[in-house]
Amino acid sequence: MKTYLLTAAGVIFIAVIVSLLVPEGKLNKSVNFIIRLICILVLIQPITGIFNLKSGEVFENYIDYAYVSEIYAGHQSEELEKLILKEKGAETECNVEVEFKEGKFKVTAVTVEVAENYKNLIDVIYEYLNGLGYINISVYAESS
């Protein structure tokens, strides 16, 4: 509190000195406006300190990483189905599992169910996904 009062008194003192030294005219109006603005900012500094939020502490409590992971996994699953259809011509149903670990979203497993008429592409799709860098890959044929 002592530091705050000394800072406020110092800024007001400097403001008075500067306003006396600046000649009359357009420059005087501009300088006085800036000085008043600085004084106001210094005087309301304790109020703004109440709202000072640390970047990670407060917001981490409000983020539901499980929900975000679920949405991200759903999106990744849909995109993987489209990619396999485009690249390999096979209709599939994909399930990508995503977890939030060490500050990042990471894919932990991939399950691909191949439509019955594409059974011959199971090994091809497995190798394709392995080449893309996926881990814990399961590719199987749709049961009838």
Which ranges of 22-135 does DSSP label H, i.e. alpha helix?
A: 26-43, 45-50, 57-60, 65-88, 122-131
Structure confidence by residue, pLDDT tens digits, 119-136:
888 888 899 899 988 888
- To the question of domain 65-141 being in CATH 3.30.2010, the answer is no
User: Average pLDDT for residues 51-73, to the nearest whole number?
Assistant: 71
CA-only gyration radius of the chain, Å: 31
This model's pTM is above 0.85: no
Say if CB 70 and CB 95 are below 8 A apart. Answer: no
pLDDT at 53: 52
pLDDT at 27: 82
CA–CA separation, 40 vs 48, rounded Å? 12
How many other C-beta atoms lie within 10 A of the C-beta of residue 61? 7
Structure confidence by residue, pLDDT tens digits, 70-118:
999 999 999 999 998 898 888 889 999 999 888 888 889 999 999 877 7
Chain CA centroid to CA 111, Å: 27
Q: Which two tokens stand for residue 129?
A: 């996904």
Structure confidence by residue, pLDDT tens digits, 20-56:
888 887 788 888 888 888 888 888 877 766 666 555 5
Say if CB 111 and CB 129 are below 8 A apart. Answer: no
Domain ranges for the chain, please list them: 2-52, 65-141
